[in-house]
Amino acid sequence: MTVKPFILAGLMAFGLGVGAPLAQQAPGNETDIVLAQATTSTTGEVAKSEQQPDAAEPDIQTYVVKRGDSLSRIARKFYGNSVLWQPILNANADKVKRGGRLIFPGTRLIIPDLSAEAPEIQTVSVEEGTPRLAISTGNAYAPFTDESLPEGGLFTDLVRTAMTRAGYDPDIQFIPWDTAMSATQKGTFKASFPWYDTTDRRAALWYSRPVYEVLIVVYHKTGAPLEFEGIDDLDGLNLCRPAGYFDDDIREKVEGGQIIRTAPETPADCFELLVKGDVDVVSLSAMVGNGEIIKLGYDEQVEVADTPLAIRPLHIVYPKFDARSRGTMGKVDRELRLMDEDGVTAAIIEKHLRAHFDGLAKAAEARTVASTE
């Protein structure tokens, strides 16, 4: 079965998640929107599109949303795991509200085939004599960056492609995150990625155009419901976010003593602390958090709050210390824009997300088989 390519690269990481809001009747006015109350979910319709599909895509599987549905429930129906909601959202970004808070009954969603082959992408080669740029990034940030991932990860592939197209030979080095940031600020590296835009870094860095937007969510332990509509609802809680991750969104609360922050080494450490009851909540990007939940086998023990904490873009950063940085950034930004326009960005993202979700699905399946033996 073939499926439409994942669309709207900027929306790729938006979505619901485990314990996502239920579908409700579409309001006549956005100001009338309220979250649906929990209801008994009915079996939705699995069907072909109401409209005649394109000849090149005759077997697109679709699903009509029913009241009581959520993307996580639909993901469990088709993929066997509620955390694998993101491929559905990616294929239907034009039909789901920004931030993924609501889906509406009657909406016909495309259900991607996770086993379908990824699109072919034309390789851009480095010509002899091309200026070499030392670029820094880090590990353990799947599917975005890790030297063990194909092409070094989704974001690494985007950066390498854009810089090569811009006439540079990127020498990408995977080093500890704090070292990558400090060394880039000093000009040791010509650029670094991927980073969130924070006020304290702007004194030393230029920020590229947004390359990829991510949804920052709050996870809590199943059975310990969290009433979360905004950051004030985290007052008095122990929040876990790994060391080296951005903290500008919670810093004022942490410094003021309203929020206690625990900062272990990895996202996996945070979820283990959450399940043990040593922290109250974990805050990460949905992409990273959901992947860790599946790998750890915690999809029945951890839920995500209905409301996202933030939607934030990831950037390439360049040192202001280097007078040539703005010129380099301008050239690379131009190629990033052209990649968006000619579909290269979407194709690269689709390729990596297919591999990422396929790996998560296989991990979940293997765990299920092991638990029944």
- Give the global pTM: 0.68
Q: Which of 33-37, 213-217, 286-290 has the lowest mean pLDDT?
A: 33-37
Helix axes 325-342, 154-165, angle to 10 degrees: 110
In terms of pLDDT, which residue wins out, 315 or 357?
315
Q: What angle do CA 327, 126, 317 make, to 5 degrees?
A: 35
Nearest to 65 by CA among 38, 42, 93: 42
Closest by CA position to 22, among listed 41, 45, 50: 41
Between 361 and 273, the higher pLDDT residue: 273
pLDDT in tens, 115-164: 766 556 666 776 777 889 999 999 988 899 999 999 999 999 999 999 99
User: Using CA atoms, how far apart are residues 240 and 276, in angstroms rounded to an integer?
Assistant: 13
Tokens of 128: 């002899």
Residue 86 has pLDDT above 70, yes or no: no
Q: Where are the domains of the chain?
A: 9-116, 131-350
pLDDT in tens, 305-355: 767 788 889 999 999 999 999 999 999 999 999 998 888 888 898 888 878
Lowest-pLDDT range of 45-59, 76-90, 195-209: 45-59
pLDDT at 39: 29
Is pLDDT at 250 greater than 50 in this prediction? yes
Q: Which residue has the tokens 């293997």?
A: 366
CATH class of 131-350: alpha beta
The pLDDT-based confidence of 95 (bands split at 50, 70, 90) is confident
CA 349, 365, 15: angle at the middle one, nearest 5? 40
**Token pair of 141 as six digits:** 């940030």
- What pLDDT shows up at residue 133? 95
Are 331 and 47 in contact, with CB atoms under 8 Å apart?
no
pLDDT averaged over every residue in the chain = 79
Output the pLDDT for position 172.
97
pLDDT digits (tens, 9 = 90+) for 196-237: 998 889 999 999 999 998 878 899 998 887 888 889 999 999
DSSP assigned state of 236: T
Question: For residue 53, is pLDDT > 70?
Answer: no
pLDDT of residue 355: 84
**Are the C-beta atoms of residues 191 and 245 closer than 8 Å to each other?**
no
Residue range 19-48: mean pLDDT, rounded: 35
Q: How far apart are alpha carbons 205 and 261 in whole angstroms? A: 26
Residues 258-277: tens digit of each pLDDT: 999 999 999 999 999 999 99
pLDDT of 35 higher than 50: no
Give 164's strand partners: none
Between 252 and 58, name the one with better pLDDT.
252
Q: Which residues pair with 314 in a beta bridge?
A: 196, 212
Asked if residue 89 lies in contact with residue 71, where contact means CB atoms within 8 angstroms, the answer is yes
pLDDT tens track for 154-202: 999 999 999 999 999 999 999 999 999 999 999 999 999 999 998 889 9
Can you name the residues that pair with 262 across neighbouring β-strands?
240
Banded pLDDT at 113 (limits 50, 70, 90) = confident
Q: Is 92 exposed, middle or buried (0-12, 13-18, 19+ CB in 10 A)?
A: buried
The residues pairing with 173 across neighbouring beta strands, listed in sequence order, are: 136
What b-and-e string marks burial along 342-373, b requiring 16 or more CB atoms within 10 Å of the CB? eebbbbbbbbbbbbbbbbbbebbeebeeeeee
Tokens 């990408």 belong to 172
pLDDT for 368 equals: 67
pLDDT band (50, 70, 90) for residue 85: confident
pLDDT of residue 82: 66
- Nearest-CA neighbor of 67 among 43, 33, 96? 43
Distances (CA, A) of 347 to 9, 312, 354: 9, 22, 11
Peptide bond into 119 cis (omega under 30): no
Q: What pLDDT does 103 receive?
A: 66
Judged against a pLDDT cut of 50, whether residue 36 lies above it is answered with: no
Q: What does residue 216 show for φ and ψ, rounded to 5 degrees?
A: -95, 120
Q: What local confidence, expressed as pLDDT, does residue 372 receive? A: 65
**pLDDT at 10 exceeding the cut of 60:** no
pLDDT at position 162, please? Answer: 97
